[in-house]
């Protein structure tokens, strides 16, 4: 069905910011693009915490990959799981098929890092996928429901204690949103508990929150979190996590809901390639984002370890977008070069142009750093809002999300707090006999 069956094949694994922008960057190139993802949607990850805290629905922050690439005639989309790469044979291995490539772009992202304690994962849930977000949302809402029924004061308090581990931007945003959910949105919903009594903790092993931000902004963000009722604990490493709670600095804290947002760990792409990885398992790439010894295989996005001034670039959406676009233009140039044109830009190394860093604390407070500019408060929040909307893929989402934010801003309502899966009890009794028909 493809117009140019002889055109070089570019296979892109992962349709996050990096992979999708690489695919779109190749829309006018004489190549055949195949995008492989294990989900059918591109996810606007920076807003995932809003799904986890019942402000937005999954569809509000995602776009079907096929929808995004539907009109791009030189592309096709495969839904499935990649299991490895046959580097010599130039094929991507999947469960039921193999996909040959001329150029390979691995944009497989990262997972949370449990620092050797993967057994904590089931209690301290990470937040990387829509699936994660709906699990956390369900867990938070059910904790209030169970607390409403619970007679024992101690168990009730454990149900109403929410711990977020890791105080990067995502952890700070998540904590602020949980605090507002508990202390404002749910305030009048219960009769036997007072959601305002819920404890919300932000636990960070390092000396301060928002380590990638200037210290002055981090201080203000911390003050704002405190104003929202969050207990911020820095210099506190988690030493254990189980169904009862977490151990912080040797002290047990009873908490039924733990959200893990600490550290990253590379996805298996490095293993597939047998490539050099950094301490976190991210693939060490060369200046043109290719893998040493494999000039036609690129790793981009969070899973690439790209050094700038000796430090790896942060795992941010703008970095991934720029890497995706860079690799697309590199491949397009190289293909054009093969077709006889001058190989003009081949040697130009990737350079990340930072447009600043943003984070939000609660519903109307943000911190922004752009070059020498520092912003805090409402203005920073509006800046954050603008940038996030601007980058949302798909117009529907932009409007809907703005609209919902506006509503949430004025009403404090969380309209997406729908617990979807039925209780196991409900499922069991439903099988039982109903009256004869």
Contact set for its own copies, span 173-192 (CB under 8 A)? 186, 188-192
User: Among 421, 420, 396, 426, which residue's Cα sits nearest to residue 61?
Assistant: 396
| In contact, 107 and 19? CB cutoff 8 Å | yes
Cβ 66 to its own copies, closest distance in Å? 4
> What is the maximum alpha-carbon separation in the chain?
79
379 binds its own copies (CB under 8 A): no
Least CB distance to its own copies at residue 214 (A): 29
d(CA 333, CA 343): 7
Residues 409 and 365 sit within 8 Å (Cβ to Cβ): no
Instruction: Tell me if 421 contacts its own copies by CB under 8 A.
Output: yes
- Residue 159 CB, nearest approach to its own copies (Å): 13
Among 7, 27, 40, 288, binds its own copies (CB under 8 A): 40
The residue (of 126 and 366) whose beta carbon lies closer to its own copies is 126
Min dist CB 283 to its own copies, Å, is: 9
Distance, CA of 232 to CA of 223 (rounded, Å): 9
Kindly provide the residue ranges of all beta strands, DSSP E only, lying in 158-219, ordered along the sequence. 161-165, 199-203
Of 173, 180, 204, 224, catalytic: 173
CB of 319 vs its own copies, minimal distance in Å: 20
Verify binding: residue 429, its own copies, rule CB under 8 A.
yes
Q: Which of residues 114-153 bind its own copies (CB under 8 A)?
A: 115-116, 129-131, 134, 141, 145, 148-149
Could you say which residues in the range 320-349 bind its own copies, by CB under 8 A?
none
Q: Does 247 bind its own copies (CB under 8 A)?
A: no
Q: Which is nearer to its own copies, 159 or 368 (CB)?
A: 159
| Residue 173 among the catalytic residues | yes
| Count of residues of this chain found to bind its own copies when the rule CB under 8 A is applied | 82
- Report how far residue 61's alpha carbon sits from residue 316's, in angstroms, rounded to the nearest whole number: 16
Q: For the window 44-83, what string marks contact with its own copies as x by the rule CB under 8 A?
A: -------------xxxx-xxx-xx--xx----xxxxxx-x
User: CB-wise, 214 or 274, nearer to its own copies?
Assistant: 274
Q: Which of 8, 14, 109, 266 is in the footprint of its own copies by CB under 8 A? A: 266
| Strand bridging mode 161-165 / 124-126 | unpaired
Helix (H) or strand (E) holding 230: strand 230-233
392/356 Cα distance (integer angstroms): 17
Q: Which residues contact 160 (CB under 8 A, 6 or more apart)?
A: 143, 144, 147, 182, 193, 195, 197, 198, 199
Task: Give the DSSP H or E segment for 270.
Answer: helix 269-273
Binding to its own copies (CB under 8 A) within 270-299 occurs at 270-271, 277, 279-281
- List active site positions: 173
């Amino acid at each position: 069905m493809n117009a140019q069956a002889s055109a070089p094949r570019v296979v892109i694994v992962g349709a996050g910011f990096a992979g999708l922008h690489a695919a779109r960057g190749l829309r006018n190139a004489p190549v055949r693009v195949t995008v492989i993802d294990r989900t059918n949607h591109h996810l606007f990850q920076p807003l995932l915490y809003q799904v986890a805290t019942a402000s937005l629905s999954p569809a509000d922050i995602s776009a079907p990959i096929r929808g995004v690439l539907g009109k791009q005639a030189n592309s096709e989309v495969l839904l499935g799981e990649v299991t490895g790469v046959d580097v010599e044979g130039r094929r991507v291995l999947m469960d039921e098929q193999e996909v040959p490539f001329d150029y390979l772009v691995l944009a497989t992202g990262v997972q949370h890092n449990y620092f050797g304690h993967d057994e904590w994962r089931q209690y301290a849930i990470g937040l990387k996928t829509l699936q994660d977000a709906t699990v956390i949302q369900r867990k938070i809402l059910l904790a209030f429901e169970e607390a409403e029924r619970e007679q024992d004061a101690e168990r009730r308090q454990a149900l109403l204690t929410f711990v977020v581990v890791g105080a990067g931007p995502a952890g700070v945003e998540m904590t602020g949103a949980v605090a507002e959910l508990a202390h404002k949105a749910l305030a009048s919903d219960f009769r036997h508990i007072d959601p305002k009594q819920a404890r919300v903790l932000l636990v960070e092993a390092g000396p301060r929150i928002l380590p990638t931000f200037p210290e002055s902004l981090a201080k203000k963000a911390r003050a704002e979190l405190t104003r929202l009722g969050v207990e911020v604990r820095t210099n506190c490493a988690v030493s254990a996590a189980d169904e009862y709670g977490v151990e912080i600095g040797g002290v047990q804290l009873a908490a039924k809901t733990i959200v893990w947002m600490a550290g990253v760990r590379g996805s298996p792409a490095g293993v597939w390639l047998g490539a050099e990885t950094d301490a976190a398992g991210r693939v060490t790439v060369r200046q043109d984002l290719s893998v040493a010894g494999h000039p036609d295989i690129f790793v981009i996005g969070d899973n690439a370890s790209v050094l700038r001034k000796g430090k790896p670039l942060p795992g941010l959406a703008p970095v991934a977008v720029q890497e995706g676009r860079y690799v697309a233009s590199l491949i397009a140039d190289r293909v054009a070069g093969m077709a006889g044109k001058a190989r003009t830009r081949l040697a130009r190394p990737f350079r990340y142009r930072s447009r600043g860093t943003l984070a939000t604390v609660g519903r109307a407070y943000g911190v922004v750093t752009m070059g020498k500019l520092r912003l805090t408060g409402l203005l920073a929040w509006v800046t954050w809002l603008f940038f996030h909307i601007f980058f949302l893929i798909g117009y529907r989402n932009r409007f809907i999300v703005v609209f919902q934010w506006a509503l949430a801003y004025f009403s404090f309502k969380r309209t997406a707090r729908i617990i979807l899966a039925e209780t196991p009890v409900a499922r069991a009794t439903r099988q039982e006999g109903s009256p004869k028909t």
